[in-house]
Amino acid sequence: MAKLFIPGPIDVSPDTFAAMSRPMIGHRGAEFEALYASTQPVLQELAGTTRPFYLATNSAWGVMEAALQNLCAKKVLNLCCGAFSDKWFSVAKSMGLEADKVQVEWGEAISPEAVKAKLEEGGFDLVTLIHNETSTGVMNDLEGIAKVVKSFPGVLLVVDSVSSFSAVPIEMDALGVDVLLAGVQKALALPPGLTVFSLSEAAVERAKAMPNRGYYFDFVEFVKNGEKNNTPSTPAISLIFGLQHILGVIAAEGVANRYARHKANNAMIHEWGKRHDFKNFAPEGNQSVSLTCFHTPAGWDQSAFIKTLKAKHGFVINGGYGKIKGLTFRISNMGNETPETMQELIDAMNDVLG
C-alpha cells in the first residue's frame, strides 16, 4: 500500500471511496437524473461557463478523439509540446484527418505568436491545446492562445485541461473555448474512468452538421441526453457518485481556496527542488501548479531514489514519461493534499537524499 504522488491517478480519499460504494441505482430514472444534475453547478464554476457539462464514461483520450471526429471538417492544428499533445496529432492522423502542427521542444511552451503564424497559412477549422502538458510540467498560455484562435473566424478551440482542471481557474466562456475536457483521476482525485466536458454553442452547431459521427462519442447525443440529465450510454454510476462527493468537498472548501492551496503546495515542491539544486524542466512563467517536472541531475541515481522512497516511506513519485523517462522526474501535488501531507512527502524525500 503506497500513496501516489504521481501526476495521475492520484490518492483517492476514504470518503470518496465510501461515496462510490453507494448501492447501484438504475440510470434511466429520476434518481440518476438528480445525481447528474447535482454535478453541474460546481463543474460550471470550475470551468467558468454557463454551458452544461457532459459525463462521458471513458478516459480523456475518448473525448480528445471525439472532438476531432465531431468538429474537424477541414483541417486540425495540433499544438505539440510533450507526450500527450504530440500524440493528439498522431491520433488525428490515425483517423485519416488532415492535420498539421506547431511543434516545440519538450519542456517548452507553445507561443501564441507561433499559433498565429500557422493559422495564417489558412485552411484550419480546429485547434487542439493541452493546457497543462502532464509529461513535461509545462502550463501553456491558455489566454494568449485562445485570443489568437478567436481572431480566426470559423476556427474552434479544444482545450484538454486534464491536469489543470480544479487546480487553476479556467474561464471557458470568457476565453471562447469551444470544448473543455478533463479526466477525473487528476486534480479531482477520483479513480480513472470518467471524463467531464463542456461544449460551446458553436461546437454543438458544428457537430450537428458533421456526417458519420457514430454513436458512442457523438456530441449531439450527449447534448440530447444531457437535456434530460442523462447520458447516451450506460454511465459509470459509482464514479459519478464519487464526482458528486468531491464536487461537494470542493464547494465546501471554496474554489478560490482550492486554487490557492494547489499553488501553495506546488510552491513547497519548487522550494524543495531549489534547496537540492533540482532544476525545473518547465520554463519560468509556464510552470504547472499541479505537478512539478525536474531534470534528473547528471550522475544522480534517480531510480534508486524513487525505489527507496517507495520502499522506506510508501510514497510513489514518477520517473519521467515517454522520451524523457529517466531524464526527468515528476511530483504531483494535485487533489486533496495539504501543506501537512506535502511536508510528509518532503521529509521522506529529504530522508532518502540523506
Query: Which positions lie near its own copies, rule CB under 8 A?
Result: 1-4, 6, 8-12, 14, 17-18, 20-21, 23-27, 57-62, 65, 69, 90-91, 94-96, 183, 185, 191-194, 211-218, 232-239, 316, 318
Closest CA to 226 of 69, 56, 60, 65: 56
Half-sphere exposure of 131 toward its Cβ, with a 13 Å CA cutoff?
30
Closest distance of CB 116 from its own copies, Å: 28
Minimum CB distance to its own copies smaller for 91 or for 268 = 91
Encode burial over 147-161: b for 16+ CB neighbours within 10 A, e otherwise: ebbeebeebbbbbbb
Pairing of strands 195-199, 291-295: unpaired
Closest distance of CB 56 from its own copies, Å: 9
- In whole angstroms, give the CA distance from residue 102 to residue 97: 16
Minimum CB distance to its own copies smaller for 49 or for 163 = 163
Minimum CB distance to its own copies smaller for 111 or for 195 = 195
Cell representation of residue 208: 450537428
Minimum CB distance to its own copies smaller for 49 or for 69 = 69
Closest distance of CB 90 from its own copies, Å: 8
Closest CA to 150 of 174, 170, 133: 174
The single residue listed with the C-alpha cell 438504475 is 26
Cβ-contact 297, 277 below 8 angstroms = yes
User: 305 CB contacts (<8 Å, ≥6 apart)?
Assistant: 329, 349, 352, 353
User: Which residues on adjacent β-strands are paired with residue 199?
Assistant: 179
Closest distance of CB 62 from its own copies, Å: 5
Closest distance of CB 265 from its own copies, Å: 18
Minimum CB distance to its own copies smaller for 16 or for 265 = 16
Closest distance of CB 236 from its own copies, Å: 3
Minimum CB distance to its own copies smaller for 10 or for 352 = 10
Cβ-contact 250, 244 below 8 angstroms = no
DSSP-derived letter for residue 333 is: -
Cβ-contact 171, 142 below 8 angstroms = no
Minimum CB distance to its own copies smaller for 8 or for 137 = 8
- Using CA atoms, how far residue 313 sits from 270, 276, 345, 350, in Å, is 21, 19, 8, 11
Cell representation of residue 97: 484527418
Closest distance of CB 307 from its own copies, Å: 12
The angle formed by the CA atoms of residues 135, 281 and 302, to the nearest 5 degrees, is 80
Closest distance of CB 144 from its own copies, Å: 29
Closest distance of CB 246 from its own copies, Å: 14
For 117, other C-beta atoms within 10 Å of its C-beta total 12
Cβ-contact 124, 155 below 8 angstroms = yes
Minimum CB distance to its own copies smaller for 152 or for 165 = 165
Minimum CB distance to its own copies smaller for 57 or for 302 = 57
